[in-house]
Amino acid sequence: MRDQATNLRHKLSISKNPKHAKTISIVSGKGGVGKSNFALNFSLELVKQQNKVLLFDLDVGMGNIDILMGLKAEKTIVDMFNEQLYIYDIIEKGPEDLAYIAAGSGLTDFFSMDQTKMEFFLKQYNGLVQMYDFIIFDMGAGATHDSFAFIRSSDECFVITTPEPTSITDGYGMIKHIVNNTKKMPIYVVMNRSASKKHGLKALDRFAGVIRQFLHVDVRLMGVLPDDKTVQTAVTRQIPYLLLNDKAAISKSMKQIVSNYLSNSVALSTTEPLSFVQKIKQLMIER
């Protein structure tokens, strides 16, 4: 019954307002640099600015997007495979009506699924593309061979780093890996946990300079987020910081980042003619 109803809703939603979602991977070299908090609050601000967003926790096994919202997802991506559910049945609603898919646990390697599962997943994913403006993947830190296929098939990639040398070095390693595999991908860099805006901008500029010099590509400087205790409070209270205190320094910076992004974002067709599904098929099915 539930399947029929959701499928119907899904069909209606497609026919009423067909879209073409931009798929964005949120990645980092080093772990714990702020990807999930970025992904969640960036998504919420996009929703506040009238976009339809699906936040997809792909840190399978370690995912925490629902916890950051004080929710416990009823169904997860793991259940989709275990219980043969449609992807529409595992989409949950968070604050501000943000749609999300939780990562779940008990599946050690989601990314190395067999061909039949992959085809099932991509068929349903294709439907999602018509329902949303943005599909945002919160990835785990680093990348395995197969999770990297998701990253490099995305339309855009946001690399989160902090000014710490270890985070910068690992962020550089991630960007090098992306550039070596796909030159066309627009790469945005966020400098998180900066002591001051000036310090953060300087670190961001230096980082972009090194990438230009050694990798011969221009990354897009998305902006700086301050080191703000509001983030820890938000995580502890399980309320996204934008909703906890929209006047906090971190919230104001996030709003600025989203506005800049929306006013400068690149149209899909100008960067890469192939869609996420077409690219990942080439990498994972037709290999």
List the x/- string, 38-67, binding to ligand ATP by CB under 6 A.
---------------------x--------
The residue count for binding ligand ATP (CB under 6 A) is: 20
Told to check if 161 binds Mg ion by CB under 5 A, we report no
CA-to-CA distance for 29 and 170, rounded, in angstroms? Answer: 4
**Quick one: tokens of 277?**
């599904």
- 250 forms part of the interface with ligand ATP (CB under 6 A): yes
Kindly indicate which of the ranges 77-85, 92-100, 223-231, 276-284 contains the residues binding ligand ATP, using the contact rule CB under 6 A.
Answer: 223-231
Task: Please tell me whether residue 231 binds ligand ATP under the rule CB under 6 A.
Answer: yes
Q: Which of 147, 161, 192, 275 binds ligand ATP (CB under 6 A)?
A: 192
Instruction: Name which of Mg ion, ligand ATP, none residue 235 binds, using a CB cut-off of 5 to 8 Å depending on partner kind.
Output: ligand ATP
Among Mg ion, ligand ATP, none, the one that 149 touches (CB under a kind-dependent 5 to 8 A) is none
Contact 172, 83 (CB under 8 A): no
| Strand bridging mode 99-101 / 220-226 | unpaired
Q: Choose the stretch contacting Mg ion; rule: CB under 5 A; options: 16-24, 33-41, 49-57, 118-126.
A: 33-41
For ligand ATP, the closer CB: 39 or 99:
39
Please tell me whether residue 37 binds Mg ion under the rule CB under 5 A: no
Which of these, 194, 186, 138, lies nearest to 161 by C-alpha position? 194
The Cα 225–Cα 230 span in angstroms is 12
Q: Which residues pair with 22 in a beta bridge?
A: 134
Does residue 36 touch Mg ion according to CB under 5 A?
yes
Does 143 help bind ligand ATP (rule: CB under 6 A)?
no
The nearest distance, CB 257 to ligand ATP, in angstroms, is 12
Residue with the shortest CB distance to Mg ion: 36
Which of the ranges 32-40, 73-81, 125-133, 249-257 carries the binding residues for Mg ion, by CB under 5 A?
A: 32-40
Q: Interface with ligand ATP by CB under 6 A: which residues?
A: 28, 31-37, 59, 140-141, 192-193, 225, 227-228, 231-232, 235, 250
Report the interface residues with Mg ion, using CB under 5 A. Answer: 35-36
